[in-house]
Structure 1
């Protein structure tokens, strides 16, 4: 099981004991792998500036354009050039418009004819919020009219050397051959450099018809995630009853040290989910039970879940949990990922939590108050120091957290089942009155029913509302209090689900760091402090047992209606 939205910027990443250095698409052996060892780096090094001799090559950049061009067009035999005019790149194999600009690029639009460019902007526009939809529609109309240069978007051109087969150095050409079509064109989202993100290419044919989404895994962590999603899509039961519809796996292949999965395009008439704050409980239960009946409850003690946790926790060095008390880690919204990942290109600047003075929930979300119990020690919330900076309680080693859960809840009988692993509103849509859900790379099994409900609340608070980890946990408590009964969960079960979810989330975070993704400073060491407050000596009773406490916790779970255009997960946390 893997963690979904661990956001760590490569430049200036946070150093944490036990961290493996974050990886880059072209650092170390990957550089030689891409060119078969036939290209000697300039100046004898294998950094981006050494591999690419042209000082204007965008792959030398440290921003999102540099990262995505190294990941998608990494072969040093390719020549990449920048220009002010999208129509002035004679001889280029591929040309893209960088929207909205080079310095703020969020989207690469393929310039391969009006149909292709227009479709790459307008496809699935009904999934977007109104403001985003209007911006895309305007750009799409200019593209269909052949007047995209009026936007002022600069061009990125990709040149293939004479005598080199394009399918050898261009992923789109390679996939076109495997899928039996003359050509494929890719619209590519651009995000900040992040060793956990996977470039996602939306594929179109010459007529502008969507042909699928290609996910590209390029380091140990992202390759494993692409493999996991391909295996999951091949294993999931077909839609029926309350089970959601899922994308069909079209192709799973490996290309030049890249793991690639292509899934079928979404139905053309998919629409945004209504009331994204409300969980889809029937679909969650259907996923947990694989469309079948409820499993017989069994005690937590002796379950495969505890065995799995202990096996994974045994690989964690002691220094990782030995985090001293000190200032809280900085918080900030994560970048989007998945089919809607390009929304940031068309959205206003990210906003902080919005205030609703007439709502206690909005007040708590806007002011950042921990509301689960009103007790900072019980929630793990930050407390003021003499210097005016927040501090956190001592951390709990992950093995101690597992022991504490077993000691408290070992005899509690639970229904165990599957979970999607990243059940959030931006990974779903509706089509013909059926839920349509994608991004299955984090699916797991053998967990207490309710993990997806806890995940939706925690990740919405973390990624859309930029709340600290303690308040995200409080949001999960409140969500379980409101909706847990519909999943058959009593007060003790709701408490177990949230605490167990936090343990699983930290283990995923650690495992992603081992795959070259670095640490998420919003989750480590914050989750260890939260677990200490919830499970350590003197921990107060958790929301779920106390209805009044859960009502106060809604300040974290509530807040303004979700705006899915704002940066977010992940992916995934």
Structure 2
């Protein structure tokens, strides 16, 4: 049993406390489950590398799950999605896929969600790639196959904190006035099997939406920034800086803590505009039309951060898709150009603060990864001493040089 199958059985223990058994399509086990009136789920593509968990005997829910959870950002991904959707829709998938998750009879997550929403439903489950903050995301479908919403269930202390944080964020966003940004409504909050549970509505994301253009992204970023009152402060006097240093201190004796603390203290004391940021704005959490952006996964929402963090985060994750080190090298240039865009300059960000903001973002990201123990999950950006600390060294030099030109006009004025 590898770490992924262990994770799968841990997820099953939370979702189905009545018991789950992972194994091949074995006739004796299948007969036992049928006699106990249990259920079967299919880990896709297999139990050693599960990305989705789909009902074996509800082909429509399974097909919708494949389509809804697919990223579809490359030709290979779109082709794989098409083949899997066809296999489930025709009923061939249970004959092709060997591994099974057998769930015993008794109250499970389906029963809890049916009672919470007061309607019959079927579920498909997204597991996703290994990350410290990975948690099951459940697609909720009506018997007719219509999407009702999505549910998130925590499975450990970190994910419990994130589910509770997203619940608070969705409550706050329900009263926010975002001109061109749509966020999901909170449909239900509660607990399941001792872990926090939330249900949110499904956004109208599909064939009519795509990744945002540069202008759409920045327009969305600015509207999120303005969820909080934008305030310009010297870095040394900002609550954000104090909070970031406290987070670094709580890393304790970790070897990365000292260079992060030193990097923060060496940054020039420039005036920076602060506002809100989504905290994890990537291609997986946003879709756009020409008029609107649809944004989800608000578990990292914070109301006091340097303006531009969301743009930098989105851009970094785009740059590293083809490789971390060349991607980070590109980001050092492209991120700087994003912060110099007139849309960002309208918030008060000035040219001599750009590299300082980029350095702050890397320090913040490194601190998050270290607190979440992302390196232990094998994420491609998680090893901060491999790429982040070297990039931070170069940004510090740029920041000091830029700050020496503090008489520059506001960005976009030239």
Q: Helix, strand or coil for the counterpart of 1:320?
A: coil
1:272-421 mapped onto 2 (5 Å cutoff): 272-274=209-211, 280-290=217-227, 295-321=230-256, 397-405=259-267, 408=268, 410=269, 412-421=270-279
1:265 corresponds to which residue?
Answer: 202
2:409 corresponds to which residue?
Answer: none
Instruction: Using the TM superposition, give the Cα deviation of residue 427 of structure 1 relative to its aligned residue in structure 2, in angstroms.
Output: 1.2
Does the 8 Å CA contact 2:70/2:81 hold for their aligned counterparts?
yes
2:281 corresponds to which residue?
Answer: 423
Which of 362, 367, 372 is the equivalent residue of 1:502?
A: 362
Instruction: Using the TM superposition, give the Cα deviation of residue 123 of structure 1 relative to its aligned residue in structure 2, in angstroms.
Output: 4.2
Instruction: Using the TM superposition, give the Cα deviation of residue 76 of structure 1 relative to its aligned residue in structure 2, in angstroms.
Output: 7.0
Residues of 1 paired with 2:404 and 2:147: CA distance? 46
Q: Deviations over 1:232-286 (max 9, x none)?
A: 1110155756441011112222222322222112226564424666661111111
Residues of 2 paired with 1:126 and 1:304: CA distance? 37
2:15 paired with 1:70:
no
2:341 corresponds to which residue?
Answer: 485
2:17 paired with 1:84:
no
Residues of 1 paired with 2:217 and 2:129: CA distance? 31
1:156 corresponds to which residue?
Answer: 100
Describe the shift of the 1:207–1:444 C-alpha distance in structure 2 as closer, same or farther (beyond 3 A). same
Does the 8 Å CA contact 1:101/1:154 hold for their aligned counterparts?
yes
TM-score computed with the length of structure 1 as normaliser:
0.61
Instruction: Using the TM superposition, give the Cα deviation of residue 157 of structure 1 relative to its aligned residue in structure 2, in angstroms.
Output: 4.1
2:150 corresponds to which residue?
Answer: 213
Describe the shift of the 1:474–1:248 C-alpha distance in structure 2 as closer, same or farther (beyond 3 A). same
Q: Deviations over 1:335-364 (max 9, x none)?
A: xxxxxxxxxxxxxxxxxxxxxxxxxxxxxx
Q: Deviations over 1:10-44 (max 9, x none)?
A: xxxxxxxxxxxxxxxxxxxxxxxxxxxxxxxxxxx
Structure 2 unaligned regions, length at least 5: 406-414
Does the 8 Å CA contact 1:122/1:136 hold for their aligned counterparts?
yes
Q: Helix, strand or coil for the counterpart of 1:146?
A: coil
Q: Helix, strand or coil for the counterpart of 2:198?
A: strand
Q: Deviations over 1:449-483 (max 9, x none)?
A: 11111111222233x12213x95265144322255
Moved more, 484-493 or 93-102: 93-102
Instruction: Using the TM superposition, give the Cα deviation of residue 319 of structure 1 relative to its aligned residue in structure 2, in angstroms.
Output: 4.5
Describe the shift of the 1:435–1:112 C-alpha distance in structure 2 as closer, same or farther (beyond 3 A). same
Which of 354, 377, 395 is the equivalent residue of 1:534?
A: 395
Instruction: Using the TM superposition, give the Cα deviation of residue 419 of structure 1 relative to its aligned residue in structure 2, in angstroms.
Output: 0.6
- RMSD of Structure 2 on Structure 1 (CA): 3.6
Residues of 1 paired with 2:313 and 2:247: CA distance? 20
Please identify which structure carries the higher helix content: 2
Describe the shift of the 1:159–1:222 C-alpha distance in structure 2 as closer, same or farther (beyond 3 A). closer
Instruction: Using the TM superposition, give the Cα deviation of residue 126 of structure 1 relative to its aligned residue in structure 2, in angstroms.
Output: 9.5
Residues of 1 paired with 2:332 and 2:215: CA distance? 13
1:5-16 mapped onto 2 (5 Å cutoff): none
Please identify which structure carries the higher strand content: 2
Residues of 2 paired with 1:279 and 1:543: CA distance? 30
Instruction: Using the TM superposition, give the Cα deviation of residue 124 of structure 1 relative to its aligned residue in structure 2, in angstroms.
Output: 7.4
Residues of 2 paired with 1:202 and 1:498: CA distance? 36
1:250 corresponds to which residue?
Answer: 187
What is the aligned residue count? 395
1:17 corresponds to which residue?
Answer: none
Structure 1 unaligned regions, length at least 5: 1-60, 323-395, 546-573
Q: Helix, strand or coil for the counterpart of 1:280?
A: helix
Q: Helix, strand or coil for the counterpart of 1:440?
A: coil
Describe the shift of the 1:271–1:429 C-alpha distance in structure 2 as closer, same or farther (beyond 3 A). farther
Does the 8 Å CA contact 2:124/2:138 hold for their aligned counterparts?
yes
Does the 8 Å CA contact 2:127/2:135 hold for their aligned counterparts?
no
Does the 8 Å CA contact 2:369/2:382 hold for their aligned counterparts?
no
2:55 paired with 1:110:
yes
Residues of 1 paired with 2:172 and 2:136: CA distance? 24
Q: Helix, strand or coil for the counterpart of 2:133?
A: coil
Residues of 2 paired with 1:118 and 1:531: CA distance? 44
1:145 corresponds to which residue?
Answer: 90
1:454 corresponds to which residue?
Answer: 312
Q: Deviations over 1:273-304 (max 9, x none)?
A: 246666611111111012x8x73533223111
Moved more, 301-310 or 128-137: 128-137
Instruction: Using the TM superposition, give the Cα deviation of residue 399 of structure 1 relative to its aligned residue in structure 2, in angstroms.
Output: 2.1
2:94 paired with 1:94:
no
2:410 corresponds to which residue?
Answer: none
Moved more, 133-142 or 229-238: 133-142
Instruction: Using the TM superposition, give the Cα deviation of residue 65 of structure 1 relative to its aligned residue in structure 2, in angstroms.
Output: 3.5
Does the 8 Å CA contact 1:187/1:201 hold for their aligned counterparts?
yes
TM-score computed with the length of structure 2 as normaliser:
0.81
Instruction: Using the TM superposition, give the Cα deviation of residue 127 of structure 1 relative to its aligned residue in structure 2, in angstroms.
Output: 6.1
Does the 8 Å CA contact 2:356/2:396 hold for their aligned counterparts?
no
Which of 124, 127, 139 is the equivalent residue of 1:202?
A: 139
Describe the shift of the 1:191–1:65 C-alpha distance in structure 2 as closer, same or farther (beyond 3 A). farther
Q: Deviations over 1:158-212 (max 9, x none)?
A: 2425xxxx22xx2222222222123x33222344554431122222232222222
1:53 corresponds to which residue?
Answer: none
Q: Which has the higher contact order (CA 8 A, sep 6+)?
A: 1
Residues of 1 paired with 2:180 and 2:240: CA distance? 24
